[in-house]
């Protein structure tokens, strides 16, 4: 007979050897689900704007991922700095903290501009009818990205400060809470950014100014005599460029099924939570592995060792209830908006099947991305999270759309 205590003991062994770390991850993920539900409600409410500006939905998965790519990596680096005793809150720009903050803001601007450029190019290649112009893409991406980045940066810094005061482990809380904040503010910011697109020339002026600002930011990263800032930029830029491009391909997959999402607006509510939770789970694993590599607790071998396997098993176990809750929350959101939904069981089935399929791929990418970063002499805190998120977006888009098609939901 299975007693409550024996069940709790078994669950604890599955979630990992550190109950406090598992608890921190679970609480952060639950907060993230609530935030991504609000983001999904925002996306579903913007149905008319999505139909009005073809190509806008293309930016959604990539813009969500970009916040996690830039600021999730920032949180991971700060977490490692805390573990190694190098972290200190200060206004000096030549410190570990100062150079990380400057690098993240500059990278956010550069990555938003690159995202817009590649988004416009892919819209042409994949023949999205009446897609926005290049300057429209830049204006929407940069304005939305700048508004969201300021908020997410503040949250990331607050988490770092809280971790030193309250003993939180940033590896367990940064990825889900940055994802939650990013989802919550990125979508409204992106919708606000899209308002500059119209009959006036506002988007052209904003697009040109944003392009110039991105070039200046790039010059600052590469030319200013701050070695850590320069290293972060040099290691991050190629990874962020690849990550943004892969995320945009994911956006193309979703954009091409726009009819299904507009037929069943509950699926629009599902999108931010689905991508956000998968990214949060991959981010937690990447952060844990990155810190343990720095501390010498694990060796990045071809076959994961015992310590790495414990973290991988923990994340896989968390994915099971998390994606079921994602489907449930998206359905409840559709009830709040009084909008069409394929039903509770179908929403849970879509989120669960697609989510677990994406999770298994993400677990492998998170581990072997960390291995590749170490082998090539890169900081795994900088490279692993964007790589994991970008592959997740691509695989996640195919598993989500594939599951929707397989279950016969929405337009054909």
Q: Model confidence over 151-208: pLDDT tens digits?
A: 889 888 888 887 777 776 666 666 667 766 776 788 788 888 888 776 667 778 888 9
**Helical residues (DSSP H) of 224-343, grouped into ranges:** 227-256, 258-263, 266-294, 306-337
pLDDT band at 353 (very low <50, low <70, confident <90, very high): very high
Question: Is the pTM for the entire model greater than 0.75?
Answer: no
What's the average model confidence in pLDDT over 116-129?
A: 84
- Distance (Å, rounded) from C-alpha 258 to C-alpha 268? 9
Q: Is the pLDDT of residue 110 over 90?
A: yes
Which among 384, 285, 290, 353 has a CA at the least distance from the CA of 16? 285
Least confident of 29-43, 87-101, 128-142, 237-251: 29-43
Greatest alpha-carbon pair distance for the chain in Å reads: 72
Closest-CA residue to 183 (of 140, 241, 144): 144
- pLDDT > 90? residue 349: yes
Residue 6 has pLDDT above 70, yes or no: no
Q: What are the structure tokens assigned to 35, written together? A: 């935030």
What pLDDT, on a 0 to 100 scale, did the predictor assign at position 105?
92
C-alpha closest to that of 312 among 353, 284, 277: 284
The predicted pLDDT at position 182 comes to 73
Give the residue with greater pLDDT, 170 vs 349: 349
Confidence (pLDDT) at 287: 75
- The number of helices, as runs of H, and strands, as runs of E, in the chain is 15, 0
Instruction: Report the distance separating Cα 327 and Cα 313, nearest Å.
Output: 22
Measure the CA–CA gap between 317 and 379, rounded to whole angstroms. 27
Residue 179 confidence (pLDDT): 65
pLDDT of residue 216: 93
* Tens digits of residue pLDDT in 309-334: 888 888 888 888 889 888 898 888 88
Task: Let me know: does 400 contact 274? Beta carbons within 8 Å.
Answer: yes
Phi, psi of 17 (to 5 degrees): -75, -10
Alpha-carbon distance 338 to 37, whole Å?
A: 15
Give the C-alpha separation, 123 to 249, whole Å. 10
Dist. CA 76–CA 294, nearest whole Å: 11
Residue 212 pLDDT exceeds 90: yes
Look at 33 and 368; give whichever has higher pLDDT. Answer: 368
Per-residue pLDDT of 261-300, as tens digits, reads: 667 778 878 877 787 777 778 777 877 787 787 777 777 7
């Amino acid at each position: 007979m299975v007693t409550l205590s024996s069940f709790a003991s078994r669950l604890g062994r599955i979630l990992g050897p550190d109950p406090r770390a598992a608890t921190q991850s679970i609480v952060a993920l639950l907060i993230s689900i609530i935030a991504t539900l609000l983001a999904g409600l925002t996306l579903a409410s913007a149905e008319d704007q999505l139909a009005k500006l073809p190509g806008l939905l293309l930016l959604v998965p990539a813009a969500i991922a970009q916040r996690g790519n830039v600021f999730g990596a920032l949180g991971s680096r700060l977490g490692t700095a805390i573990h190694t005793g190098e972290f200190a809150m200060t206004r000096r720009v030549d410190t570990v903290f100062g150079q990380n903050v400057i690098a993240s803001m500059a990278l956010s601007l550069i990555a938003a501009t690159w995202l817009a450029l590649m988004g416009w190019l892919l819209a042409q290649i994949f023949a999205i009818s009446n897609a926005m112009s290049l300057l429209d893409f830049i204006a929407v991406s940069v304005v939305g990205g700048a508004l969201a980045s300021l908020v997410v940066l503040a949250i990331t810094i607050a988490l770092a400060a809280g971790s030193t005061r309250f003993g939180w482990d940033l590896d367990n809380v940064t990825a889900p809470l940055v994802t939650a904040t990013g989802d919550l503010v990125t979508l409204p910011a992106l919708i606000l950014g899209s308002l500059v697109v119209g009959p006036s020339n506002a988007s052209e002026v904003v697009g040109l100014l944003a392009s110039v600002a991105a070039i200046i930011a790039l010059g600052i990263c590469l030319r200013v005599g701050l070695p850590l800032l320069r290293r972060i930029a040099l290691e991050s830029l190629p990874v962020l460029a690849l990550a943004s491009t892969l995320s945009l391909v994911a956006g193309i997959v979703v954009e091409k099924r726009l009819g299904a999402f507009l037929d069943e607006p509950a699926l629009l509510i599902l999108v931010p939570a689905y991508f956000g939770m998968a990214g949060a789970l991959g981010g937690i694993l990447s952060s844990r592995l990155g810190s343990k590599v720095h501390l010498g607790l694990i060796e990045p071998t071809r076959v994961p060792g015992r310590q790495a396997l414990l973290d991988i098993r923990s994340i896989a176990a968390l994915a099971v209830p998390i994606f079921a809750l994602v489907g449930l929350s998206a359905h409840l959101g559709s009830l709040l908006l009084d909008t069409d939904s394929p039903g509770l069981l179908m929403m849970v089935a879509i989120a669960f099947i697609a989510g677990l399929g994406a999770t298994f791929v993400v677990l492998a990418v998170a581990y072997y991305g960390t291995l590749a970063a170490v082998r090539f002499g890169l900081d795994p805190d900088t490279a692993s999270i964007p790589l994991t998120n970008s592959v997740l977006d691509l695989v996640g888009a195919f598993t989500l759309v594939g599951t929707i098609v397989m279950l016969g939901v929405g337009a054909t």
